[in-house]
């Protein structure tokens, strides 16, 4: 599955960010065993699915409380669109997330379903099974990971990002993906299986794009991206999650996140 690519003119603008200071804590070495290891947890969910609210709540708990020792969960709530015909059109849904879930499903014997959590691209579990999810998150935190550093500069129409990744594990080449996520979202659902409920979400993916690629066996990546932001999104609640993913295995080699900050 290929997320929306970033137009070339926006990529060129992004490289103007090279003077931005990057977040501290990254060098050429992989993540230290004394640090929390970033682990990507993707939840495929829908406001039209009656089984999904408990999974949404658990993802919020993972994001807010970080209950797995040694791991920093980077929560991505990806709302699929195939429930939209069943009484309620999820305002956060996008066909790209349905396609991404299908892209994952080719690696597992399970069918596409909600709520499904995918951990670091290589493990999946039912989103309402906290014990199973915590176990695979803990396991993912033991694997070697590279470091990701991000600098951002908000402007009137969007955000520019400078991205560096170091200490990447050996791979056949990987895609650098950027997710713009929004926390603290809430919906009143008047129709469908969750009729009458107030649903709350963190980590809702508003945009998912590709910022570049690494070569075979590459240990580093340097690049940039420029993304438009919808005026309806609350900029104070937006952050960027960047992850380096090997497309063949779906394995995530490195990940990081940063708030979006205004250009000085």
Half-sphere exposure at residue 11, Cβ-oriented, CA atoms within 13 angstroms: 11
How confident is the model over 102-155, as pLDDT tens digits?
999 998 888 899 999 999 999 999 999 999 999 999 999 999 999 999 999 999
Confidence (pLDDT) at 56: 99
Distances (CA, A) of 198 to 42, 172, 189, 228: 22, 44, 6, 29
3 against 222, higher pLDDT: 222
Mean pLDDT on 171-187: 97
Q: For residue 263, what pLDDT band results from cuts at 50, 70 and 90?
A: low
Confidence (pLDDT) at 109: 86
Confidence (pLDDT) at 20: 54
How confident is the model over 8-53, as pLDDT tens digits?
444 444 444 554 555 544 445 555 555 899 999 999 999 999 999 9
Other Cβ atoms within 10 Å of 60 Cβ, number: 19
Other Cβ atoms within 10 Å of 107 Cβ, number: 14
Q: For residue 57, what pLDDT band results from cuts at 50, 70 and 90?
A: very high
How confident is the model over 72-110, as pLDDT tens digits?
999 999 999 999 999 999 999 999 999 999 999 998 888
How confident is the model over 194-208, as pLDDT tens digits?
999 999 999 999 999
* Model pTM score: 0.89
Other Cβ atoms within 10 Å of 238 Cβ, number: 19
Residue 96 corresponds to which tokens in the numbers above? 């790209």
Mean pLDDT on 147-165: 96
Residue 236 corresponds to which tokens in the numbers above? 């104070």
pLDDT at residue 54 is higher than 50 = yes
Confidence (pLDDT) at 8: 42
Worst-scoring range by mean pLDDT, 190-194, 198-202, 236-240, 258-262? 258-262
How would you classify the pairing of strands 71-79 and 37-45? parallel
Q: Kindly list the structural domains of the chain, giving each domain's residue range(s) and its CATH number in brackets, ordered by start.
A: 4-259 (2.60.40.2060)
């Amino acid at each position: 599955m290929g997320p929306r690519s970033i137009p070339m003119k926006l990529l060129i603008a992004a490289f103007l960010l090279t003077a931005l200071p990057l977040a501290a804590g990254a060098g050429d070495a992989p993540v230290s065993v004394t640090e929390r290891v970033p682990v990507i947890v993707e939840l495929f969910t829908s406001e039209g699915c009656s089984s999904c609210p408990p999974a949404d709540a658990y993802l919020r708990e993972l994001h807010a409380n970080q209950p797995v020792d040694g791991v920093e969960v980077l929560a991505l709530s990806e709302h699929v669109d195939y429930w939209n015909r069943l009484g309620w059109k999820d305002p956060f849904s996008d066909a790209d997330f349905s396609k991404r879930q299908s892209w994952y499903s080719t690696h597992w014997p399970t069918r596409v379903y909600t709520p499904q959590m995918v951990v670091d691209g290589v493990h999946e579990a039912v989103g309402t099974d906290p014990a199973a999810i915590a176990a695979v998150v803990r396991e993912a935190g033991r694997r070697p990971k590279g470091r990701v550093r991000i600098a951002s500069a908000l402007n009137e129409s969007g955000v520019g990002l400078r991205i560096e990744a170091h200490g990447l594990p050996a791979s056949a080449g990987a895609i650098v993906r950027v997710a713009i996520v929004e926390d603290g979202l809430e919906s009143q659902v008047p129709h469908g299986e969750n009729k009458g409920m107030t649903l709350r979400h963190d980590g809702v993916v508003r945009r998912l794009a590709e910022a570049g690629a690494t070569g075979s066996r590459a240990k580093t990546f340097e690049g940039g991206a420029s993304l438009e932001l919808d005026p309806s999104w609350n900029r104070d609640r937006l952050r960027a999650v960047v992850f380096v993913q090997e497309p063949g295995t779906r394995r995530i080699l490195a990940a990081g996140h940063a708030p979006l900050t205004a250009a000085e």
